[in-house]
Amino acid sequence: MSQIYLDLLIIICIGLLVWGILKSERIYQFPFYMGGVFTSFILPQAVSLVFKPGLASPQAVQNVLIMSSLCAAMCWIGYSGNANLKLIKKLEFPFDEKKLLHAGILLIAFGSLCNALLFIVTPQTNSVGNWTGPSTIIYFFRQTFYIGLVILLQSVIRKPRGSKINYLLLTLSPILYTIILGGRRSPTAGLILIFALSLFFEKRILPPRLLVASVILLGIFLIPLFGILRFGIWEKLFTGNLSVSDLMSGLDYIMQGKVLELRNAAIIMEYVKSEDEYGYGSGYWNGLVFQFVPGQIVGQEFKSSLYINTGTTNLSAKLFEFTGYQIPTGSTTTGIGDSFLEFGYFGCLIFAFLAYFFKNLWISSRYYGNSFSRIIYISLIYQMHWIITHGTYLFFATNLVFNSLFLILVKMYIYDGKKTITRFTRYY
């Protein structure tokens, strides 16, 4: 049965990619983007898990393949619904363009300050190696940098000015430092997507569809290779020494099946099904408490009292007791695993809700020319791969809620009732 469910996942992934390739502008829409992440990140691990399940039972492997297929399918099903015109209208409001630019520069400056402080403040770690103390707060607020970057970049593309271009170049230097010296996958993909989407919305520039499809297929080899080589991958690229054998080594690493995030998800799913211990949404509340309540200020005891304790509390210890399996350090449970942990197979509806949300943002950005919707769209979707690779908890608290709070503050600052609603370049 595992092979049948694997084939189903492959068919759904191909379907999402074909849907996007058929029309050029779809390459920037939610179903295609998520299809690319499922294809390059989940699919190789799924193949490896079928043939090298490790401590995952055959039933656990089948469970995770079914859930993966459901989540991938929901990325299209949720997107296929009709847009909510009332919601789209609410996204429109009159604002001051100069204030918007000022807000972007301020967010960049604040995020850059947080980045600089991370080099000064020595991180404290807990027993499992996770950061604690002031470093966690600083790292959390550094994300404002990317919201500001989206605002500044769109302003530069729309109305290029020498001062704005110089500030943009200065702004990009810390990101490039992280990408090149750190060999980080997320900042690399994020920066490319931010630029690509900004150019599309403002200038209707689209890359060749064949190139995009090739990049997705190449991602199957490059994603694990980034994790193995880090800085070394850029050294090989710049010197022209990146060979086919290097690319194959990344895929071989996945196929060896030593560390598979999808195996983590499979064993978690087997545990919660057998013990009937679901979180019922408590994990999202606990994620908000973890991210937004500073234990250094209010006290760790008070912070701990805010957590909702369920059968999923201390999950790692329970998994080890249940199966003898220990989640490898540095690996994740994926969005497949944690959404099932909360709601069982109904957790796939999270992907459908997000798909519908991004459908409305796309309509507002693309067809209504809503500049603020474009900012929301880009600042959220460039990190959407986290919902698959890292988990829905992380995306919900660290990205969706955090960005929404700061974008609400930006909206309050730039709102100008004396002006008329401005719609920027629209393409039909």
Could you give the count of Cα atoms lying within 13 Å of 54 in the half-sphere of its Cβ? 23
Q: How far apart are CA 260 and CA 110, in angstroms?
A: 37
Q: Residue 248: is its pLDDT beyond 60?
A: no
Cα separation of 20 and 420, whole Å?
35
| Residue in the structure block whose two tokens are 């090298």 | 52
Predicted TM-score of the model (pTM): 0.88
The region that residue 214 occupies, defined by phi over 0 for left and psi between -120 and 50 for alpha, beta otherwise, is alpha
Report the candidate in 76, 77, 67 with the shortest Cα–Cα distance to residue 6.
67
The rounded distance, in Å, linking the Cα atoms of 53 and 43 is 14
Structure tokens at 181: 């010296």
> Residue 367: in which H helix or E strand, if any?
none
Q: Which pair of tokens denotes residue 313?
A: 């509390």
Instruction: Provide mean pLDDT across the span 196-213.
Output: 89
State mean pLDDT over 22-44: 93
Per-residue pLDDT for 40 more than 80?
yes
Q: How confident is the model at residue 133 (pLDDT cuts 50, 70, 90)?
A: low
Q: What is the pLDDT of residue 428?
A: 42
User: pLDDT, tens digit, for every residue of 269-280?
Assistant: 999 999 888 999
Q: Which of 291-295, 311-315, 396-400 has the highest mean pLDDT?
A: 396-400
Q: What is the mean pLDDT of residues 322-345?
A: 90
Tokens, residue 319:
């998994």
Q: By the 8 A CB rule, do 261 and 333 touch?
A: yes
Residue 128 has pLDDT above 70, yes or no: no
pLDDT tens digit string along 74-104?
999 999 989 999 989 888 888 988 999 999 9
pLDDT at 231 over 90: no
Q: Residues 15, 365: contact at Cβ < 8 Å? A: no
* Rounded distance between C-alpha atoms, residue 195 and residue 362, angstroms: 17
353-403 pLDDT tens trace: 999 999 999 999 999 889 899 999 999 998 898 899 989 998 898 889 999
Band the pLDDT of 241: cuts 50, 70, 90.
low
What does the alpha-carbon distance between residue 213 and residue 208 come to, in Å, rounded to a whole number?
Answer: 9
For 100-127, what is each residue's pLDDT tens digit? 999 999 999 999 898 888 878 776 665 5
Q: What is the pLDDT of residue 338?
A: 94
| Confidence at residue 321, expressed as pLDDT on a 0 to 100 scale | 83
Mean pLDDT of the chain: 85
Hey, what are 31's tokens? 């179903």
pLDDT for the residue 369:
86
* Greater model confidence, 229 or 274: 274
Instruction: Provide the token pair at 399.
Output: 């990205």
| Position with higher pLDDT, 133 vs 277 | 277
